[in-house]
Amino acid sequence: MAEKEISQAVISRLPRYFRYLGELKEQGIERISSQELSDIMKVTASQIRQDFNNFGGFGQQGYGYNVEYLYEEIGKILGMGREHTLIIVGAGHLGQALSGYNNFFNRGFIFKGAFDLNKELHGKKIRDMEIRPVEEIEQFVRDNKIEIAVLTIPKDQAVLMADKLVKCGIKAIWNFAHVDLDVPENVQVENVHLSDSLMKLSYNVDRYEKLHKKK
């Protein structure tokens, strides 16, 4: 039987479920109903049940959800049961901040190498990683079985770098460059456009102010 296609909207909510359930687990809460989870997450109970039903449901009628079990199962769906190896391409302020974020390490995302075009950075270290020339990326990816590349470089460099990473077998790209990458379908890309997020926030601030001025 073919695997069921899960919508991107559902997938985008899974990390949020995982985070909230982790917090509930730390608080010692053993079970929770869809309505209680709804009150915490501001997602309707119906939506929560529909999302979980895509993966088998997880709950019991009259009982709700076992928090630890649900946390572990969503973790498995998200691939949290194993380590993922990463490199940073672009060792500037953003690259350094991302590689130094401890929660990535705690979730199994292990940074193995850092690369930059700037020769003045070569040999310096971020999180115990020596910053290397970009010319060494292909061999490094192959030797260290790197799965994910994090791009924090200008957009005019990102397209060529993505092509190079695809050729040396990278499986996924977390792209902070301000350009949408066109890669083969077997390479997963998550585009993070920080200015888009900020403009969305600006829109919501403006919209809220306009609505409340009318009252």
The domain boundary, picked from 59, 77, 95, lies at: 77
Residue 37: closest CA among 54, 13, 12:
13
Residue 58 included in any domain: yes
Range of the domain at 114: 84-195
- Segment 22-51, tens digit of pLDDT: 999 999 999 999 999 999 999 999 999 999
Tell me whether residue 56 is in a domain: yes
- Would the pLDDT of 186 be above 70? yes
Give me the CATH number covering residue 21. Answer: 1.10.10.10
Q: What is the CATH number of the domain that holds 176?
A: 3.40.50.720
Is a pLDDT exceeding 80 seen at residue 61?
no
**Given this model, what pLDDT does residue 2 score?**
46
Same domain, 186 and 88: yes
Percent of residues, the chain, with pLDDT higher than 90 = 71
Q: Are residues 69 and 90 in the same domain?
A: no
pLDDT at residue 1 in the model: 38
d(C-alpha 150, C-alpha 162), whole Å: 10
Is the per-residue pLDDT at 91 higher than 50? yes
Record the pTM. Answer: 0.82
Confidence of residue 139 (pLDDT cuts 50, 70, 90): very high
Nearest to 137, CA basis, from 108, 103, 161 = 161
Mean pLDDT value across residues 156-169: 93
- Return d(Cα 100, Cα 145) in angstroms, integer: 21
Tens-place pLDDT, residues 115-124: 999 999 999 9
Number of domains in the chain: 2
Q: Are residues 36 and 133 in the same domain?
A: no
Question: Would you say residue 111 lies in a domain?
Answer: yes
Measured in whole angstroms, the distance separating CA 62 from the mean position of its chain's CA atoms is: 34
CA pair distance 18, 75, nearest whole angstrom: 7
Phi-psi group of 90: left, alpha or beta (phi > 0 → left; psi -120 to 50 → alpha; rest → beta): left
Co-location of 63 and 110 in the same domain: no
